[in-house]
Chains A and B, each alone.
Chain A
Amino acid sequence: MDGNRELDGRVAVVTGAGRNIGRAIALALAAGGAAVVVNSRANLAEATAVAGEIEAAGGKALPVTADVADPAAVEKMVAAAVARFSRIDYLVNNAALRGEKRLPEMTHADWRKVLDVILDGAFHCVKACLPYLQKSGAGAIVNMGGLSSHTGSQHRAHVVAAKSGLVGLTRALAHDLAADNVTVNCVSPGLVATARAKDFVVPQHHAVHHTLSGRPGTPDDIAAVVRFLCGPGARFITGQVIQASGGAFIS
């Protein structure tokens, strides 16, 4: 928290960083001084644009496409990150799919596809980054959860289960990595105004839960919380879920 660049010399991997909250996280960590690996599943143009924004502001960034559901692709991404920046201090597991499907129509393939990205993807990224996080001396993993894993929601059994799984993964890894001084926390965003696909259906939990101010949050609101959790001000915080929801969910 001292000065403006508390993450100077550090390296962050942010998955799903081509747009919206992931992009804001990449920009926020870069503003804090970290070099950022900007991951997108397949959209190199988006990842390159975000990396370009970081570099234009004087930062360091590497755009990398990799499907986090594919462990070999994740290994390659991490190898590219280390080849370029020589270390990894922070991993932000942000990549996600958020489909809606009525339970009678939800197939096991639908279920697997979502869990493969959100939960298995986080596992693959942790495993691939692990040796570098352990060497960091002040490592941090931030898993991006979601409001619906606390409130439940219609037509999202796969997403809710996957995001709740991330909370469990957070608590488990907090124990596994404490001895290496790697903190593991989860940020749970509430209603955030992001660019959505044209066919986006407002999920039930958005319709039911409202922020106290009536205004949605911004990606920057969420990114600042991630930057805090990575930085020197949060070294005694581990195993926690931080709700950034404008009071939409008060536990």
Chain B
Amino acid sequence: MNTPFHLDDQVAIVTGSSRGIGRAIAETMAALGAKVVISSRKAEACEAVAREIQATGGEAAAVACNVSRKAEVEALVEATLSRFGRIDILVCNAAINPVFGPLRDLSDEAFDKVMGANVKSNLWLCNLVIPGMAARGGGSVVFVSSIAGLRGTDVIGMYGISKAADFALARNLAAEWGPHNVRVNCIAPGLIKTEFARALWENEDLLARRNAQTPLRRIGMPHEIGPVAAFLASGAASFITGQIIVADGGITAA
């Protein structure tokens, strides 16, 4: 494809891509020419998405991985390299948000579990993948973070803490790897209509209030985040690194 957005023959790992935002990212990247590795905890769900991408003429493979388990993360990278030979794009999208409630009730176990799944796993993946990108002349890493990392809430504080840590992780990796042409950026989506965020949008009163606070007067759809990730991965974003791209209908600008 002759556009700055094309991803022809690029190999992309997208974690948490059997549904929601991750799936939309994988589908967008595949449509732009990338070979995508679909990954989530359940092999069957990954295979179904990979098959759908293949059915539309895209190239995709499925590798199940629980990103909280280091051995599975290593296996994901190894499987990708043995299948496609290299990794050009890494999208760290898998995340958990198991706690809904005040921080004073948060257990130490829950703190460690969220930081492990949402932050430490991203560092594992980056340390496994980025050196190879650097050796081949460059690459792009995208963390799917959240506007919950930019401002406080009274119900998903732990998630917000982990997502803010992802911003710092991206900035520091950008500074470390920029000289090797590896770019590391974050997307901070606002509220998107996914299963993951169902608790935040299924209540009609909450949704109406949310819409009223958002300049675009609506919450987002997964297909509105896929192109943002694809943009950051592409040559069109060749001068962008260490940044947070907010895609939230304007609610944090409000």
Task: Find out whether the CB atom of B217 lies under 8 angstroms from the CB atom of A242.
Answer: no
Task: Find out whether the CB atom of B178 lies under 8 angstroms from the CB atom of A234.
Answer: no
A8 to chain B, nearest CB (A): 12
Q: Which B residues touch A221, using CB under 8 A?
A: 238-239
Task: Find out whether the CB atom of B239 lies under 8 angstroms from the CB atom of A244.
Answer: yes
A101: Cβ under 8 A from any B Cβ:
no
A73 to B20, CA, bound (A): 48
A32 to B238, CA, bound (A): 18
Q: Which B residues touch A232, using CB under 8 A?
A: 227
A104: Cβ under 8 A from any B Cβ:
no
Task: Find out whether the CB atom of B253 lies under 8 angstroms from the CB atom of A190.
Answer: no
A243 to B111, CA, bound (A): 32
Instruction: Check A240/B245 contact, CB under 8 A, given A213-B178, A233-B227, A234-B228.
Output: yes
Interface string of A176-213 (1 = CB under 8 A from B): 00110100000001101000000000000000000111
- Among A32, A224, A240, contact of B237 (Cβ-Cβ < 8 Å): A224
Task: Find out whether the CB atom of B217 lies under 8 angstroms from the CB atom of A240.
Answer: no
> How large, as a class, is the contact surface on chain B?
35 or more
- Among A192, A214, A228, contact of B5 (Cβ-Cβ < 8 Å): A228
> How large, as a class, is the contact surface on chain A?
35 or more
B138 to chain A, nearest CB (A): 9
- Among B179, B244, B248, B253, contact of A214 (Cβ-Cβ < 8 Å): B179
- Among A4, A174, A222, A246, contact of B250 (Cβ-Cβ < 8 Å): A174
Task: Find out whether the CB atom of B240 lies under 8 angstroms from the CB atom of A4.
Answer: no
- Among A2, A181, A192, A235, contact of B224 (Cβ-Cβ < 8 Å): A235
Q: Which A residues touch B237, using CB under 8 A?
A: 224-225, 228, 244
Task: Find out whether the CB atom of A246 lies under 8 angstroms from the CB atom of B241.
Answer: yes
A201 to B240, CA, bound (A): 25
Instruction: Check A1/B4 contact, CB under 8 A, given A213-B178, A239-B215, A242-B245.
Output: no
Instruction: Check A212/B174 contact, CB under 8 A, given A175-B254, A234-B228.
Output: yes
30 contacts between A and B (CB under 8 A): A1-B32, A4-B1, A4-B3, A174-B250, A175-B215, A178-B215, A178-B216, A189-B239, A190-B239, A211-B178, A212-B179, A213-B178, A214-B179, A224-B236, A225-B237, A227-B236, A228-B236, A228-B237, A233-B228, A236-B224, A238-B216, A238-B249, A239-B253, A240-B245, A243-B240, A244-B239, A245-B240, A246-B241, A250-B174, A250-B175
Residues of B within 8 A of A (CB): 1-5, 28, 31-32, 171, 174-175, 178-179, 181, 190, 215-217, 220, 224-225, 227-228, 230-231, 235-250, 252-254
